[in-house]
A and B are shown apart, each in its own frame.
Chain A
Amino acid sequence: ETGVTQSPTHLIKTRGQQVTLRCSSQSGHNTVSWYQQALGQGPQFIFQYYREEENGRGNFPPRFSGLQFPNYSSELNVNALELDDSALYLCASSLTGGIGYTFGSGTRLTVV
């Protein structure tokens, strides 16, 4: 049984660019949630995907968008990057109802 894997582990982007982060959910998990963790802060909920549809969203602007694929993997897209978008982006997968909620190791995004 594999855990949650995220790619890339680190990347550096320039302000105004767009970025795509990827997440492969744990085997058997059908729900994916994305969180943003700024340095020294707790994770903040961005959105959740279930059955390829957005199933809940936190207080993030529309330039944060996502996708979930039939194999339950997911992407987080951020357009028009801002310096404040620099953070660790965490993906968590679970079964319906939150069973087995498991985080990946995250992608460290630096915007310069």
Chain B
Amino acid sequence: QQQVKQSPQSLIVQKGGISIINCAYENTAFDYFPWYQQFPGKGPALLIAIRPDVSEKKEGRFTISFNKSAKQFSLHIMDSQPGDSATYFCAAGRYGQNFVFGPGTRLSVLP
């Protein structure tokens, strides 16, 4: 019940395109779903997060869509830029406690 599944493993998008990464969780007690961006040699940095009381959250070019009944959530990156090339991790957990991370998606945005 602790696993978080993430797909795709890797993603190649043209500049200006939309990047979509999907995640699924199992533990219905989870109430906090952050997305992290990680560049090589750096720690993960919080990108955007959502609580299950809303179905969508948007911050700039980044949007989280959340489907509580399906236990799925996704990250959409609009107008993808080469600077967005990084590894993206979804995570899930109880707010204020530790997270279970997905295996990551390596995004490459071609110029």
Report which A residues bind B (CB closer than 8 A): 4, 33, 35, 40-45, 48, 56, 58, 90, 92, 94, 96-99, 101-106
Contact = CB atoms under 8 A, between A and B. Distances in A.
A41 B6 CA distance: 11
A103 B95 contact: no
A95 B105 CA distance: 28
Given A43-B44, A43-B89, A98 B101 contact: no
B42 interface: yes
Nearest to A56: B98
B101 A101 contact: no
Interface residues of B, number: 23
Shortest Cβ-Cβ A-B pairs, 9 listed = A42-B101, A103-B43, A98-B96, A97-B96, A45-B98, A105-B43, A43-B101, A103-B44, A42-B103
Contacts of A43: 44, 89, 99, 101
Given A98-B32, A98-B95, A44 B101 contact: yes
13 contacts: A4-B43, A35-B101, A42-B101, A42-B104, A43-B44, A43-B99, A48-B98, A56-B98, A58-B98, A90-B43, A94-B96, A97-B95, A106-B42
A40 B104 contact: yes
A29 to B, nearest CB: 13
Interface in B30-69: 32, 34, 36, 41-46
Contacts of B42: 105-106
Residue of B43, B44, B46, B99 ringed by the most chain A CB atoms within 10 A: B43
